[in-house]
Every structure is written in structure tokens, then in C-alpha cells.
Amino acid sequence: MTDVEKLSEILSHSSSTVFFGGAGMSTESGIPDFRSASGIYNQKLHKTFSPEEMASYNFFLRHTEDFFEFYRTRFVYLDAKPNAGHVALAELERRGILKAVVTQNIDGLHQQAGSKTVYELHGSIRRAACVKCSAQYNIDFVMKNVPVPHCERCGGIVKPDVVLYGEQLDDEVIANSIRAISDADTLIVGGTSLIVYPAAGLIDYFRGDNLILINKTATRADADAQLVIRDNIGVTLARAVELLA
């Protein structure tokens, strides 16, 4: 029996599967892995900043215009479409097998593919809000109002609803993610190195029977997994769903 056949067999007997995904889930849709980027030089600031520095709340406050220039070019990929993995997960949810997607990604592709229960640990590029009055805006408003989007109601800066370095994760999203993972009988972890905390620590709440890793490289959880697959997530998940009766 192949690894994909084993995965399909596990899914066929699961009544509560949760998928925990990272950047590798979106690279197959053409979205680059943010953490793999090299340092970025900004001539106006006369300093070399790493992507992590430019994606920080401190940089947003101190160099707001430069932050938005960086954000629009490195965070937002509006032409990206859901890949076979996103579609497969939506189908698993439709069949009642998958109960939730917990994602570190901010692209909204799971929802575009049809997934309903999605917990976005790091927020979403699709939403934005005024830092002063909390008025809600969408991605189009942020992209069109350059260099810095300002609230039409109060004039405050409209910040994308993404969790920047130096910001806390949303308590409700964390609680829902922990609940889903704790209640799952099968946890599929895909496309994540499991080195970005606190998000990566959430898989430690899993108490089910089947921990499955789908990742190109080794992770800290490999030794505890019932199944480790070194292949593309999209291809693997799509084939596993195809094999389901």
C-alpha cells in the first residue's frame, strides 16, 4: 500500500479530521514562501531590513509608507488561485470528514476553494480596519489608496488584518483552533516547518490516533507521526480524496 493509499484509508475511517497548514500549502498556487526571502534594501532608509523587520508592527508605525509599499508587493497575490490541495480539503469538509482548517496563511485561498470552517492564525489580506475607529475595509481599498490608506470616516490609518511580528494572535482564533485540534481523531499537518511560534505549538494539543505530516523537509513532529509523506500537498491530498469510496 502506498503512502497516499494509507492516507486515504485513514480518512475513510475518520469522523473528525483537522488540517493544519503553512506556507507550503500556498506555494503550489504561486505564492512565494515569505521566510525564504533574502534581506531587502530600502534606499530611502539607508539600511538593509530583513523581511521579518519590514513585516513588524514597529516598522508599520515608524515607516508606514514603506511598510505599505512592501506589503502590496510581498504579501498580496490577488491573481493566485486555490490549488488541488485547497479543493481537496473543501471536498473533505463537504463530505463531513474534515471539521476545520487551521492555517498560518493569510491569502484566503481556503475560503475561495469552498472551505467554510477556517481559522486564520495570522489574519487575512482580504480584510482591513481603521486603527482609530475600527471601520472595516476590504483589500481593494488598501491596494487603491496609495501610499497610505486612510479611513473615510475618521482619517485614521487603515491597517491590513494581518498579524505582524510583535503583535499577538487573536485569542478567539487560538481558542477555536485548540478546540478543533483537541477534538480531532486525525490531524494532517502540511506545508509547515513548525518553527513559527506560537502557531506551531498548537499541534501539541492533538490527542487523536493519526498524526500525518505532508512536508518536503523534516519537522520536529515527524517522530510522533503515524504517516510522513515527502511530496507536494496538492497532489497528495487530491489523490487521497480521489481514492475515497
Cell triple for 199:
502557531
226 DSSP 8-state letter: S
- Of 86, 110, 122, 150, which is the active-site residue? 122
Dihedral over alpha carbons 153, 156, 158, 161 (to 10 degrees): -100
Q: State which amino acid sits at residue 186.
A: T
The answer to whether 122 is a known catalytic residue is yes
- Backbone φ and ψ for 211, nearest 5 degrees, come out as -100, 120
How far apart, in whole angstroms, are the C-alpha atoms of residue 57 and residue 63? Answer: 10
Contacts of 210 (CB under 8 A, 6+ apart): 10, 14, 185, 186, 187, 226, 227
Instruction: Report in angstroms the alpha-carbon separations of 176 from 79, 83, 97, 192, 241.
Output: 30, 25, 18, 20, 26
Residues with a catalytic annotation lie at: 122
